[in-house]
Amino acid sequence: METMVLGRAKILEAITEALQPLDYVYGMWQCGSAAFKRVDQWSDIDIVIDTHDDRVRDVFPVIDKILEALAPIEISLEYPQAMSPGAYQKVYKLEGTSKFMVIEICALKHSSSEKFLQREIHGEVFVHFDKQNVTENKPIDEEKFYANLKTRLDNIEKLFNIYQFLIEKEVNRNNQIEALAFYQNFTLNPLVEVLRMKYKPYRYSFKTRYVYYDLPKEVVTRLEEFFFITDIRDLSLKHKEAIRWFNNTVAELKKA
């Protein structure tokens, strides 16, 4: 007899039914792929919960109990550093589910100013319930945002131009692992960031996450060539070309 695998819909339904009646829980929504209508068989579950400021942790014993009723909890992990001030996060993996079906839950303070609701950054979040209009879209302060982006651009340009010597130094020493690590950190990461500033500025801090959706196809295709290195000589050549691409992009951004 074929074993049924516990699916996404059943997990979300159970969590919603458990949390919605609680008077200290004001809203629950999904971020990630659900907010961009890109859920597929490899998607995990990203849940945000709005709670009374003093009850942030109280939702998790409830969630633990409801998940255990669905399937044994194979692994759970508490995040020591939350994405939002005063928030609390926990990740679950249930037995009998797809290995991709990881459940990430972030409980936020009701008073928090960061709730991952800006459409330009986080998409159109999938709301399960909202008792106090907590999921109302918060418009971005354009003036403040672009002032911060300009400051970041100035800083990243300086950091980039200071630290490229690290790659050359390790190439000259034939220390391939160190050269590659420095190249990833000090060359490619800044390059991706300024490309995001050019093509998807609201998500400039997302690093390589979602590059296949946020950047033009021809840009991503070109980027792939810089990420796949065959040997130390190839690294040296691509490093020089990446520097040119970075500086050209910064120049374009400054003109804009």
Predicted pLDDT of residue 80: 65
- Which 3-state string (H, E, C) describes 179-190? HHHHHHHHHHHH
Which two three-digit tokens encode residue 104?
């990430």
pLDDT per residue over 23-80, tens digit each? 999 999 999 999 999 999 999 999 999 999 999 999 999 999 999 999 999 999 998 6
pLDDT per residue over 88-99, tens digit each? 999 999 998 999
Domain range list for the chain:
8-130, 142-255
CB 202 within 8 A of CB 120: yes
Which two three-digit tokens encode residue 244?
């040119």
Half-sphere exposure in the Cβ direction for 86 (13 Å, CA):
16
Question: Looking at the domain that runs over 8-130, which CATH code has it been given?
Answer: 3.30.460.10
- pLDDT of 2 strictly over 50: no
